[in-house]
């Protein structure tokens, strides 16, 4: 079940979900989501850092920290905005840190359609925010359009958080088939 904006607000007031800082009134403008803002620091792949013509990353060894080590900060414009050119790829954390307190809540982070029409792809293929998540979300931004896009850090609302109810709480530790088997057998007896 996807939460409506009223369900989301109620979950916030009940302490089932936390935002730091809490969204402002203008971020609640959609019927089934809350809009999130970009943070202050934007990053891009460092070009030719190794001096080699051919670079690669083993996908099996890839993690967020390894990616961030390959990036450099994007320099802001004199007015503090960030300009994105066609074919640019940026990483940026959301201004809001999210905590899914209720164990049966999960979420998705999706781009907003009005920005997609200008060529902006947000959070490309990894929209899942797993149950129990606590922290800011690292967004992947890619620009496919022909015009420059200008972001205002901590203001531009480029994505939306869609909260969903999970049928049952996850079991831990993760990737332990013995634990999953026991949980399945308990559910089978219901």
Question: Has residue 110 got a pLDDT over 60?
Answer: yes
Question: Has residue 59 got a pLDDT over 70?
Answer: yes
Query: What is the structure's pLDDT at 53?
Result: 45
Query: What is the structure's pLDDT at 179?
Result: 72
CATH number at residue 60: 2.70.40.10
Tokens representing 140 are 């992947």
**pTM for the structure as a whole:** 0.85
Domain range holding 142? 5-188
d(CA 104, CA 84): 37
Mapped onto helix, strand or coil, the DSSP state of residue 150 is: strand
Question: Has residue 37 got a pLDDT over 90?
Answer: yes
The residues, ordered by sequence, that sit 6+ positions from 82 with a Cβ below 8 Å of its Cβ are 42, 74, 76, 90, 150, 151, 153
Considering its fold, how many domains does the chain have in total?
Answer: 1
Which of 27-41, 78-92, 98-112, 115-129 shows the lowest mean pLDDT across its residues?
A: 115-129
Question: Has residue 54 got a pLDDT over 70?
Answer: no
Query: What is the structure's pLDDT at 174?
Result: 66
Mean pLDDT computed over 87-98: 95
Q: Answer with the residue of higher pLDDT: 19 or 124.
A: 19
């Amino acid at each position: 079940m996807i939460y409506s904006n009223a369900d989301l607000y109620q979950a916030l007031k009940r302490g089932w979900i936390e935002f730091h800082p809490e969204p402002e009134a203008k971020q609640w403008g959609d019927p089934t989501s809350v809009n999130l803002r970009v943070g202050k620091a934007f990053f891009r792949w460092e070009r030719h850092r190794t001096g080699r013509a051919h670079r690669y990353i083993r996908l099996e060894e890839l993690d967020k920290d390894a990616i961030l080590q390959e990036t450099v900060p994007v320099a802001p414009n004199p007015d503090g905005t960030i300009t994105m050119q066609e074919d640019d790829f940026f990483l940026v954390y959301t201004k809001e840190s999210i905590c899914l307190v209720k164990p049966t809540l999960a979420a998705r982070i999706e781009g907003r359609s009005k920005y997609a029409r200008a060529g902006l792809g947000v959070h490309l293929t990894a929209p899942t925010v797993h149950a129990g998540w606590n922290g800011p979300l690292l967004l992947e931004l890619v620009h496919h359009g022909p015009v420059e896009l200008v972001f205002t850090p901590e203001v531009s609302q480029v994505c939306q958080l869609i909260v969903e109810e999970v049928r049952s709480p996850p079991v831990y530790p993760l990737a332990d088939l013995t634990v999953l088997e026991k949980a399945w057998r308990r559910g089978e007896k219901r």
